[in-house]
Amino acid sequence: MAATLAQALTGISGILVTPYDQPGDIAPRRLLPVIDRALGAGVHMPVVNGNTGEFYALTTDEACTMVREVVAMVGGRAPVLAGAGRGIRDAVRLAKVSAEAGAAALMVHQPPDPFVAPRGIVDYLKALEDASGGLPMMLYLRNDAIGTAAIASLCALPGVKGVKWATPNPQRLAEAKAACDPEIVWVGGLAEVWAPTFYAVGARGFTSGLINVWPERSMAIHAALEGGNYPEANALIAGMKVFEDIRAEEMAGTNVTGVKSALIAQGLDCGPTRPPSAWPLTKAQSERLNRFLSDNNLL
């Protein structure tokens, strides 16, 4: 699994949505056709309990159910990356359940607590590693204000195998990469639009919510970047930018709304989003989304 995991980390980490039924409860099986389509297109690593999966809107019980169900639906076709985070006891429980379910690695959300010490994050990561029985860990870094030295101290932990870099600061990414073990995998964590910029400073692979809706386009962008064809990658990204622009609106409060609205339009109803995410799209946003889907034969 180690070689397979290393290869998958440099591919596309496809962040799956969390489906809900009409009463608003999680409905994991609605995700099966989305998973099948993504894996059929070649997506390297499905991710459960990520931000496109509304991780912070789920209870810990729900997150545990989602990781069990997603690993079962993937059925060994690809390694599954499982998000873990929140308070230490919830995170430890989720790490343990993820390992028992058969996840290949943990994606550790950066603690959003207002009082976070870098050395406290070290203890946090050690606790998750112990709880999971030593699953490899990917750090999901959304705030680089902790500084390069702190990032290097986190990456020095034996269980940390990579970083999903989700801050629009390629210079800091380059600095952090240079300060850490060259075996650490640095993954672009701001999806397709930022992938060429991060590739240019040494990242490999990228996260994607687009894979829920149009995995073939994500795969084409990845192939272009792996081949060093930046003009092709940029042209492909320009062709899906409308979708990402919609998701970035309202302080990114329509991020998951755009994905779930597109799935509904495609006949793959995964339900609405939960507050504080925006739901539904405005009339103007819906019109732009429908034009995008129609123009690209995605309906």
The reply to whether 167 sits in an annotated binding site is no
Contact 238, 230 (CB under 8 A): no
Question: Token digits for 72?
Answer: 């079962």
Q: Which of 20, 96, 161, 164 is catalytic?
A: 164
Length of the chain: 299
Given the structure tokens 């390297």, which residue do they identify? Answer: 44
Active-site position among 140, 161, 199, 260:
140
Six-digit token string for 279: 């739901």
Nearest Cα to Cα of residue 16 among 42, 43, 39, 50: 50
231, 246 Cβ separation under 8 angstroms: no
Closest CA to 50 of 32, 33, 70, 30: 70
Q: How far apart are CA 69 and CA 203, in angstroms?
A: 30
| 126 assigned to active site | no
DSSP 26: B
Verify whether residue 124 is a known catalytic residue.
Answer: no
No. of helices (H) and no. of strands (E), the chain:
13, 8
**Residue pair 228/210 in contact by the 8 Å Cβ criterion:** no
SS3 193: helix
In whole angstroms, give the CA distance from residue 190 to residue 34: 21
| Residues designated catalytic | 140, 164
Return binding residues for pyruvate: 52
Return binding residues: 52
